[in-house]
Structures are given as structure tokens and as C-alpha cells.
Chains A and B, each alone.
Chain A
Amino acid sequence: MTHLPFIAASYALGVGVPVLLGILAWQRLGAARRRLAAIDPRMQAE
């Protein structure tokens, strides 16, 4: 029985999940920053 598929699946999960979470956090942060810049009078004044 080859163990390679089990190892490959584990590494895909171990790398993929943190990367996905990071990308989602980064996108959410960018969207919030743009939205805030559009409506915050202090940021518009800067």
C-alpha cells in the first residue's frame, strides 16, 4: 500500500487551509479599508 496519496493530501490541507484563510483575511481587510476610506471624513481629509 503506497502512502503517497495520504501524505500529499495532508500537505495540501496543511498548506492550503492557512493560505486560504490568509487570502480571505487579506481580501476582507482590503475591502474594509476601501469602504472606510470612502466614508470616513478623517481619511478623506488626509
Chain B
Amino acid sequence: MLHCTVSGAAVPSKRAEWCYLPPVSAQTQSPVAARPARNLHRFANPGRFLRLAATVQPWLTVPAILLLGGGLLWGLVLAPADWQQGDSVRIMYIHVPSAWLASAGYASLALCAFASLVWRHPLADLAAIEIGPVGAAFTAVCLTTGSLWGKPMWGTWWVWDARLTSVLVLFFLYLGHIALVRAFDDPVRGARAGAILALAGAINLPIIKFSVDWWNTLHQTSSIRLTSASGMHRDMLWPLLACALGATLAFAAIVVGRLRAAVMERRIRGLLMAQVERA
């Protein structure tokens, strides 16, 4: 197997497969391909991943556009105004899905970090790197729309209450992860350091979730609970769920697109290095 040289150091192991794609015949006969389907590393083959991702991407993108577009229009035009908040409640259709995705995105980042540290799965490293900026963007949307709702409702853009502060910490964790994985000349070391940060930062997720119950916050408690009836009228709940599902699919479609590009870029780097070695 060709070894990918990064910063003058040869990187052996399965991760090197992501730097150089062997010929098709070699791929189909490789031990990785011959392993049972239950093996996690079955999807570590770049060619197989790219084929699967290309198939899945339209099934994420089209429903995401329809659900998010439809849900936002529903929330903006058809859903009723709140008796207390008036039309400002419509900000909820942006704020709540982005808040859910900020936490869910970080949870997926932490899962990828776990898979990277425990199983050394090469796709997990790449996925974590690509999830980071998308999660940070959705967290920024959550914080900004929260401020845009807070100014007319609370009379202030920001308060240092537990929910807002813990989400701000989440945003900084995303930024820290983005910076850390790119701070090393050796991408494997960068991914390892980023994975440790991501796992340590996962402690913030239950703090975000339960901050409104544990502390006396200005931020309201959850209106939607899995264990009891929703405190929200269904005329508001359905557009919110459509927006949340659409935003989740959009998040997944963006990450899959970035991941496909990252896999191809790694193949390009590997091929260029192979050309240099041959020259």
C-alpha cells in the first residue's frame, strides 16, 4: 500500500487508504471489502462511501428544501400569532430548529470523535472536521435569532443566564474544535486532539438541556417534551416540526456534500504525492 506522507512522516494503517485510492480491481478484492456487513470499517472504503453518499444526497436535499421552505412559509404566513408575543413568536420557527441542531450537531461530532478514538475509523475523522463549521453556523444562527427575539420581548439583546451562556460555550467549543483540527501539520494528530476536545465538551450538552430546570433562568422551559403533552397549540407545533425536520435534513445534506468533497480532496492529495514519489 502506498503510504501518505504528511509533514515528512509516513502514515501507515487504514488511514492511508484515504490518501490514495487503489485500482478498482484491488478495491473489490481487498480484505476490507470482504469483511461482513456488520463491520464498521466496511464504509471506510472511499469508493464505496462516495457511491453511497452520491445516492443518499438527493434524498436528503430535496425533502430538506421542501420541508424547510414549506415549514417556514407555514410559520410566517399561516400559523397564528401568539396572544402575548404577537408576531415575534414566528422567530421560533428559525430559533428552535437551529438550537436543536446546535446540540444534535455537537452530539454527532462527539460520536464521530468516539468512533475515531476507539475504532480509528478514517471516515469519523473527516466527518468530525466537516460537521464542525456547519454546527458552528447553526449555533450562531441560534444565538443571533435568540437575541433578535430577546430585544423586543425581554428588552435586551443578551442576559447571562444559564441557557444562553451554555449555548455560547457550545459555540466556543465548535470554534475551538475547528481551530484545533487545523492547527497541526499532521492531520491525524489534529483529528486526535480535536476528538479529545469534542468528547470533553460533550458534558456541555446535558447542561444546555437541563439548564432551564436546574437554574432560575430568564429563558423559558421546554414547551415540547417526549414524556408529556406539548404545551404548544398544534397550529404552531406542526410548522415547527416541519421546520425542525427540514433543517435536520439540510444539515445532513450539507455535511454529506462537504464530506464527499473532503474525501475527493484527500484522494487528490494522495495522487499528487504518488506522482511526486514517482518523479
Q: Which residues of A contact B (CB under 8 A)?
A: 1, 3-4, 6-7, 9-11, 13-15, 17-18, 21-22, 25-26, 28-29, 31-33, 35-36, 39-40, 42
Contacts and interface: CB of A to CB of B under 8 A. Distances in A.
Interface stretch (B82-90, B120-128, B188-196, B216-224): B82-90
Contacts of A36: 264, 267-268, 271
A25 B145 CA distance: 24
Given A3-B152, A22-B250, A36-B267, A17 B88 contact: no
B145 to A, nearest CB: 5
Given A29-B264, A35-B268, A39-B268, A21 B98 contact: no
Interface in B78-96: 86-88, 90-91, 93-95
Q: For chain B, which range describes its interface: under 10, 10 to 19, 20 to 34, or 35 or more residues? A: 35 or more
A25 B93 CA distance: 24
Interface in B128-173: 133-134, 137-138, 140-141, 144-145, 148-149, 151-152
B260 A29 contact: yes
Interface stretch (B36-44, B107-115, B251-259): B251-259
B4 interface: no
Contact of B145 (A13, A21, A22, A26): A13
A25 to B, nearest CB: 4
B73 to A, nearest CB: 10
A3 B134 contact: no
A43 B91 CA distance: 47
Nearest to A32: B264
A40 B269 CA distance: 11
Nearest to B263: A32
A42 B26 CA distance: 12
Contact of A29 (B134, B247, B257, B271): B257
A11 B87 CA distance: 13
Given A7-B91, A10-B149, A33-B264, 18 more contacts: A6-B88, A7-B90, A10-B94, A11-B76, A14-B141, A17-B141, A18-B251, A18-B254, A22-B253, A25-B254, A25-B257, A28-B258, A29-B257, A29-B261, A31-B261, A35-B264, A39-B275, A40-B267
